[in-house]
A and B are shown apart, each in its own frame.
Chain A
């Protein structure tokens, strides 16, 4: 259990250490801190979006130990000692992830509010299943609502990213 101090109102503040995008952050949080707010407010990682706050839209999707979850439904304290990846962690050393490249090529996002969540869902899919079918792609992003695109370019971009990954591997 995380260590804590008790403030003068009797509220506990816990010391948590969470690895976000490969960086270890140690912060004090209250028990009621939600991961989405921790990322956005405490770490200023606002790429993770907030919308429905009830696990219905997927805008706040992040990877928790490699699996996509809605960060609006995760208590920060329950993530103590674990690893989180957000959209800001997709590119490395200025090099975009293949998914990001393909999203650009297909103009997949329009307003872009759902894009970080879809990217994370898609990333998790390709890590687990490098060569998905169209149905598997649709299924992987079915928890990410988008009102602008009808998902058409998103699905194409993700399939394309998978194909490009395969090519790189084969080549």
Chain B
């Protein structure tokens, strides 16, 4: 048998000029001086201020919208409702286009969009909002999948009978056969809660028209998708929609769907002929929703005596909220990637996404993954415990290996989950701690990972996923990288600039990046599915190499080397040359060199302009089954996290004391930024495990739509964090890169939950693990013990 090709330790001895280094962020000066502009910081002359008019019923027919009092208020410029805007439906997949700009005849959740209003200033705007009266015929509402599934339950949409919005039934291999062969079978059922993204900057959007064209400045994760949706909704050409994204106060998936602000801003600025700024108050971010689905997850797994997984059967019920948006992808993602993590042949995945009268759910960091990872990692720990196997050993046994194909059709190249587990085990002191810590203290492990960019565009198209262009100044002293990759804080501007510098052989300090403007820059699908480093990276690398190719060709005509006592002038071939850090030199005789700038200038004299071009398309990926496209990717990351916790056995209060993450991210372009992603992912994951949950009252109103009662971890809550990487090389990524941003959140919920279980000896089957839940579980366990004792 041929030796397995290994991408491990591939980069160990590589030294690059500009990548693999923690260079300074391109945007950092703007961000530490306060001069960087976010959307809400922008002002245009004659600008109006607008807000959405929101439903105050969870499920109701709209009888009458009375705007007359508001219209009388001086300073109110326009009030629009469904009748004033296109009634076209939108969403992610055409089969589930179910949302309109404003509600047409009925509202489907408390906070649903009824209309929009704009006025000359914020004060008038708020006063006017209060004067708008909506008359409803209230309909019975459903707030949980269980209620939605009941016979005779109120129907939220005609097109979703039984309130089921997405139903998935997939089987790979032969689960029934595997059941017969299994040594041990166990079933666990766990619940993950509805959360919000928790970015600090609320959405904001400003639109204005110039002739037939509209310009939108928005806090959004994708200039292209926003452009695409606006064009489709308003029946315009994409070229007539210009999207500019200023700095974005993070997204985590929450600024990817059509928020209502953008469409309302476009519509209102059209009517008024003035720029309109639409904005959310923080609480509205909760009503906008589009965050993590609540999930009810049941896993049945059969293993051999040694713990090798033979089959997995899973059923996942998702609380979708009122509309679909990205929720159809969330549903498929919920089952898609388990097979990447662990190597087994027989897999059944059933899912039901219900619509309910709550804000719609969608994508949040790790899209569809963190809850199923939490459930399965908990489940796997129980299996290991039942069989008397160490939790890390069962993971080592089942971890997928490099150069394999999953039963659901994903090709996995570099993949070093096993090594990540081993490294995490060693740095965390697992062997000294596991099973040896005192009661109330525990250690747990969790695995995860993610796609490095989605294999397919969100809508059907054959466009490249990313295009980049690099333009060199005519005197060769500066270069600009053009790409609409979206830096929402993760650092793509920096990483792509590093890649451009490396590819061109040109100083990082002399490159700026022009992004997030559909007029000025080039197509990229934006920041989601952890795609920028690999996909925009390919485009930028190719554009940089294109520049370099041109420079070397030009330089070959300019350099001369001594040969046989004479000089060979202008006879060098480009292959004999190299360009690094702004110097072009002869490989055999580096002392013979010339500056990039001089060569570039000569190129300009001869050719007029020096531009490099590059683009990337991942090609056709994946199988042919229904939903096969979701989860496809050129590369898969993996990660192991270990957490150590301390639980107060009387109060149930959990304190995370230490965390270790080992990520298989491929080649790391900027270590500092990578670790920053891991730190942030941990903090979000810890929050979601212990504190965070969106709470509603009996009317479907959000009770904790603020940062006092929806508790993100503070600096005092964050534990010691250690972030490490396995040195790997991904053949499908430029210089071997993979992702880190989303994957790093996926193991956290499971690993912290497992640590809590280790500390207290009781499994809490529902997130978050609040002190009260732990307290109750401990009390119940004690009660059961006493009862059993008698």
A151 touches B200 (CB 8 A): no
- Which of B61-69, B96-104, B226-234, B486-494 interfaces with chain A? B486-494
In the complex, what residue of chain A is closest to B713 when comparing beta carbons?
A150
Q: How many A residues face the partner with a CB closer than 8 A?
A: 55
> Which residues of A, 54-107, contact B by the 8 Å Cβ criterion?
54, 56-57, 59, 86-88, 90-91, 96, 100, 103-107
Q: How far is the CA of A24 from the CA of B452 in the complex (A)?
A: 52
How far in angstroms is the closest Cβ of chain B from A76? 14
Q: Please tell me if the beta carbons of B34 and A111 are within 8 angstroms of each other in the complex.
A: no
Chain A stretch 130-146: residues in CB contact (< 8 A) with chain B:
137-139, 141-146
Q: Decide yes or no: A153 and B199 within 8 Å by CB, A107-B25, A112-B31, A148-B489 being known contacts.
A: no
Residues of B within 8 A of A53 (CB): 281-282
Does B712 sit at the interface, judged by CB under 8 A? yes
Rounded to whole Å, the gap between the CB of A159 and the closest CB of chain B is: 12
- Whether A5 is near chain B, meaning CB under 8 Å from some CB there, is no
Contacts of A52 in B (CB 8 A): 200, 282, 706-707
What is the CA–CA distance of A82 and B199 in the complex, to the nearest angstrom? 32
B contact residues, range: 35 or more
B33–A112 CB distance below 8 A:
no
Indicate if the CB atoms of B200 and A146 lie closer than 8 Å: yes
Tell me if B's interface is mostly helix, strand, loop or mixed. loop
Residues of A within 8 A of B542 (CB): none
Instruction: Determine whether the beta carbon of B684 is less than 8 Å from that of A147.
Output: yes
> Are A104 and B28 closer than 8 Å at their CB atoms?
yes
The yes or no answer to A152 lying at the interface (CB within 8 A) is yes
| Residues in B whose Cβ lies below 8 Å from that of A113 | 38, 199-201, 249-250
Partner-binding segment picked from B78-86, B386-394, B694-702, B715-723: B715-723
Segment with Cβ contacts to B, from A12-20, A40-48, A162-170: A40-48
For B675, what are the chain A residues with a Cβ–Cβ distance below 8 Å?
A: 152
Choice from B29, B123, B716 contacting A138 with Cβ under 8 Å:
B716
Determine if A151 and B683 form an interchain contact, defined as CB atoms under 8 angstroms apart: yes
Distance from B590 Cβ to chain A, minimum over Cβ atoms (Å)? 32
Contact of A49 among B22, B201, B679, B714 (CB under 8 A): B201
Query: Is A114 part of the binding interface, using a Cβ–Cβ cutoff of 8 Å?
Result: yes
Are A153 and B679 in contact (CB-based, < 8 A)?
yes
CA distance A96 to B32 in the complex (A): 9
Contact with A along B171-212 (1 / 0, CB 8 A): 000000000000000000000000001111110000000000
A51 CB-CB contact with B under 8 Å: yes
Is the pair A59, B34 in contact by a Cβ cutoff of 8 Å? no
B40 is an interface residue with CB less than 8 A from chain A: yes
A49-B28 Cα distance, complex, nearest whole Å: 16
Is A115 touching B31 in the complex (CB atoms < 8 A)?
Answer: yes
A107 touches B715 (CB 8 A): no
Residues on A with C-beta less than 8 A from B200 are 49, 51-52, 57, 59, 111, 113-114, 145-147
A40 to B317, CA, bound (A): 45
CB distance from B787 to the nearest CB of A (A): 43
Residues of B within 8 A of A88 (CB): 33-35
**Residues 248-285 of B contacting A (Cβ, < 8 Å):** 248-250, 252, 281-282
* Contact B489 A112, beta carbon cutoff 8 Å: yes
> Are the CB atoms of B30 and A153 closer together than 8 Å?
no
Q: CB-CB contacts of B664-708 with A at 8 A, as 1s and 0s?
A: 000000001101100111111000000000000000000000111
Return B259 CB to nearest CB of chain A, in Å. 16
Q: Which of A103, A105, A109 has the most CB of B within 10 A?
A: A109
- Minimum CB–CB distance from A94 to chain B (whole Å) comes to 10
Task: From A56, A87, A106, name the one whose CB has the most chain B CB atoms within 10 angstroms.
Answer: A56
A103 to chain B, nearest CB (A): 5
Tell me if B239 is interfacial: C-beta within 8 Å of chain A: no
Q: Does A126 contact B (CB under 8 A)?
A: no
A88 to B682, CA, bound (A): 31
Interface residues of B in 1-49 (CB under 8 A from A): 22, 24-25, 27-38, 40-41, 43
B250 interface neighbour in A32, A111, A143, Cβ under 8 Å: A111
A148 B680 Cβ-Cβ under 8 A: yes
Q: B250 and A148: CB pair below 8 A?
A: yes
The answer on a CB contact under 8 Å between A139 and B34 is: no
A46 to B491, CA, bound (A): 22
Asked if B538 is at the interface (CB within 8 A of a chain A CB), the reply is no
Q: Please, how many angstroms separate the alpha-carbon atoms of A102 and B712 in the complex?
A: 25
Please state if A100 and B33 are interface contacts (CB–CB under 8 Å): yes
Tell me the smallest distance from the CB of B221 to a CB of chain A, in Å.
11
Residue numbers in A under 8 Å from B32 (CB-CB): 87, 96, 100, 103-104, 109, 112, 115, 119
B494-550 at interface with A (beta carbon < 8 Å): none
| Contact present for B679 and A149 (CB under 8 Å) | yes
Contact B673 A112 (CB under 8 A): no
- The answer to whether residues A145 and B707 also contact, given A53-B282, A112-B249 and a CB cut-off of 8 A, is yes
B342 close to chain A: CB less than 8 A? no
Asked if B247 is at the interface of the complex by the 8 Å CB criterion, the answer is: yes
- A-B contacts, 6 of them at CB < 8 A, read A45-B34, A115-B32, A146-B715, A147-B712, A148-B250, A151-B679
